[in-house]
Amino acid sequence: MKRILALTALFFFFQSCSKEEFDSTNYDSADKGVLANAPIEIKNTYFENWVSGVRGGGAGTHFYIELKEPISDAIFLGELYFRGQKTKVIALSELLYLANFPNNANPADDVSSGSTTVKSTLFENPPFPIDDDQALLEYFVNRELNYYLIKKVSEQESEFQPQ
């Protein structure tokens, strides 16, 4: 009996440690569950597909986020969901951030195993449904998880390297 009670208590403990509950009071229903008052001001977002000019040099999509002003130290940009993929956002400068989505269009050959290897991003559905021309930015304010819906992402001309 003690064993069943201990297992039940352990189950409820781990259940409470799982994903955060969705609190709809802070969210704008028109934006599909995204925070209505995001503390980030985005100037422009766009993506461009790229292919290395060298066989096996890789290919993918670069997604750029340009901010109007630098973000405070309390804000951290985490990951970006775009077209069924998820990857980390990295800072290129105070106002420019990049999310790189590699694909297998120009893979490197793995000599040791004879198979093709590619750095992979996670293929994961976002927490909220988004359209193909939208992206969902995951960010943290004082370690609290938030989302920002980026609408109408524009595509720049493809980049072929080296030029």
Residue segments in the chain with a per-residue pLDDT below the cut of 50:
5, 7-33, 111-120
Taking the C-alpha atoms of residue 146 and residue 143, their distance in angstroms, rounded to an integer, is: 9
Residue ranges of domains in the chain? 40-161
* One-letter amino acid for residue 41 of the chain: E
Instruction: Note the maximum CA span of the chain.
Output: 72
Q: What b/e readout covers 106-133, taking b as 16+ CB neighbours within 10 angstroms? A: bbeeeeeeeeeebeebeeeebbbebeee
pTM (2 d.p.):
0.67
pLDDT number for residue 28 = 45
Taking the C-alpha atoms of residue 22 and residue 20, their distance in angstroms, rounded to an integer, is: 6
pLDDT digit string, tens, across residues 108-153: 655 444 444 344 456 778 898 899 999 999 999 999 999 999 998 9
pLDDT number for residue 29 = 41
Query: Looking at the domain that runs over 40-161, which CATH code has it been given?
Result: 2.60.40
Mean pLDDT of the chain: 75
